[in-house]
Amino acid sequence: MKILSIEFDYEYNNLISAAINSSVAKGTFWTSGSDEGCEGKFSWCSVKKLVRNQEAKWFPQQPDNFGGKENCVTIGLSKTVALLSDVDCSSSNRYICEARDTRNTPVNSDAIVEECAAVFNVSKEETQKTEDLCGMVNDERVLLLAEMFAESSDELLQENMIAISTCSSKKGMDECDTAALIFQCGQETAPQLVTNLINTAQLDTTAESVPLPRIAPKCLTDFSCVIDQSMRDDYLNNRVTTNAETFTACGIKYLLDYQARSYQDASSLCCKYGLKLASIENAEELFCINRSSMGMNFREEWIHTWVAASRLGASDPSDYRWCTSSGRFNLLPEIPDRYPERISYLDWYLFSIKFRPPAAIPVVLVARDRLSSRLPTLCKP
C-alpha cells in the first residue's frame, strides 16, 4: 500500500464517511503531500501528482509555512470535515494507507475504469467514451471528420477547428483525467461535434448506463435517548408547559417545544417524551400540521423547527434521508426552499421546516441548517 494521497474531490467525502463509521478514524493523519524543495507547490509524493488547488480542501489560513519549516501535509478528520494543513515534517502523527480496490474487479485495468468512473461521477460506459474520444482527438482523422460535419459552413468549420485546437491540448494528471478534461472541453465548446465523433467511433450509445451506487447520507446518533416517565405522562395527558404544547394533525399527536436547542438536544428531548424527532411522510403532512392548532402559544409569526433529516456525507448534496423512519425523503422540490444557496455548503447538512400558522396566510418552507444551529423541536410518535 501507499501513504494517503487525496487526488480527487470525492475522496474527502469518503474519509468523512470513514470517520463517521469508525471510532479510530478521527484526528490528524499524515498524507503523502509535501512542498519540500519547491515552496508553495505541493505534490502528492506517493503518486507523483500535483495538489490541484481547485480540489484541495485546506483549513482556514492554511498552508501558512509557520516558522518557515512546514513542508509536509496532514489531514484533520471528524464526522463533518476533512481538511488539510501544512506541518513540520519531524512531528509525529498517525497515518492512513491506501490501495486500489480490486475486490469486485480482479483485472487491474477494470479496477482503473471503476476508479475513473467514481472520480468523475459517471457510469463505466461514459468513462469508456471519454477514453476513446481522447484517442480520436489525437488522431489526424478527426480534422477530416470535423470538416465533413461542418457541411460547407465556414463558420461551423472554424468553430470545430477552434474546439479541436483548444481541447486537444488539455492535459490532466493521468490518462483518465486527460480524457475527462478533453470530453468536458468538447461538450462546452462544440457539443454537436463531440456527438458526431462518438457516433463515428461506433460506440454503443444506446446501451443502458449503470451509474455507480451513491454514497448514502448518514444520521447523527451521538445523543442520549432515555424516557422520562413524568414527561411521558405529560404528553399522554396533554399537560403543557410554558415552552411546549401538544396538538393533533391528521390523526397524529405531535409535541412542539419552543425552546431553541441543538439537533442532538432536540433528539434527546423527544426521546424523554417517548417520541422521536419528526420525520415527515409527505408534503400533505406538512400542510396538515400547518392547518392544525400548532403554535397557539407561540407569539412569533414563523415557527422554525428541527425535523429528523440529514445529508451528512452523501455524494449528492440534495440526497437527504429520514433518520427516524424508513420513509422516502420526497419534500424537495415540492416544498419551496427558503435558502437554496445552502445546498452547496458542506456543513449545512441538517434539515428544518418553517411554518407560518393559519393566523396569517398558511405557508410552509424548508431550510438547511448546520450542527451549530439552535431551533425549536417537533416530535411525533
Query: In the chain, which stretches have pLDDT less than 50?
Result: 133, 136-138, 202-213
Give the separation between CA 317 and CA 315, rounded to whole angstroms.
Answer: 6
For 356, list phi and psi in degrees, rounded to 5.
-120, 100
Contact 71, 89 (CB under 8 A): yes
Quick: pLDDT tens for 35-47: 988 888 898 888 7
Distances (CA, A) of 347 to 18, 83, 168, 343: 17, 13, 38, 10
pLDDT of residue 204: 35
Of 74, 203, 206, nearest in space to 130 by CA: 203
Contact 105, 9 (CB under 8 A): no
Domain with CATH 3.10.100.10 in the chain: 2-98, 229-380
For 368, half-sphere exposure in the C-beta direction (CA atoms, 13 angstrom radius) is 20
The CATH architecture one would assign to domain 2-98 is Roll (3.10)
User: Of the CATH numbers 2.20.25.10, 3.10.100.10, 3.40.50.300, 3.90.850.10, which one belongs to the domain with range 229-380?
Assistant: 3.10.100.10
Quick: pLDDT tens for 317-344: 788 999 999 888 989 888 998 888 888 8
Give the separation between CA 367 and CA 304, rounded to whole angstroms.
Answer: 9
Q: For Cα atoms 122, 177, 218, give the angle at the middle one, nearest 5 degrees.
A: 45
pLDDT of residue 200: 58
SS (H, E, C) the chain: CEECCCCCCHHHHHHHHHHHHCCCCCEEEEEEEECCCCCCCCEECCCCEECCCCCCCECCCCCCCHHHCCCEEEEEECCCCEEEEEECCCCCCEECEECCCCCCCCCHHHHHHHHHHHHHCCCHHHHHHHHHHHHHHCCCHHHHHHHHHHCCCHHHHHHHHHHHHHHCCCCCCCHHHHHHHHHHHHHHHCHHHHHHHHHHCCCCCCCCCCCCCCCCCECCCCCCCCCCHHHHHHHHCCCCCCCEEEEEECCEEEEEEEEEECHHHHHHHHHHCCCEECCCCCHHHHHHHHHCCCCCCCCCCCEEEEEEEECECCCCCCCCEECCCCCCCCCCCCCCECCHHHHHCCCCCEEEEEEECCCCCCEEEEEEECCCCCEEEEEEC
Distances (CA, A) of 12 to 77, 97, 161, 302, 329: 9, 15, 38, 37, 25
Q: Which three cell numbers stand for residue 220?
A: 447523527
Q: Which three cell numbers stand for residue 180?
A: 475527462
Q: Which three cell numbers stand for residue 44?
A: 502528492
User: β-pairing, 363-369 with 350-356?
Assistant: antiparallel
pLDDT of residue 112: 62
Of 43, 46, 54, nearest in space to 8 by CA: 54
Of 207, 156, 208, 162, nearest in space to 186 by CA: 162
Contact 181, 224 (CB under 8 A): no
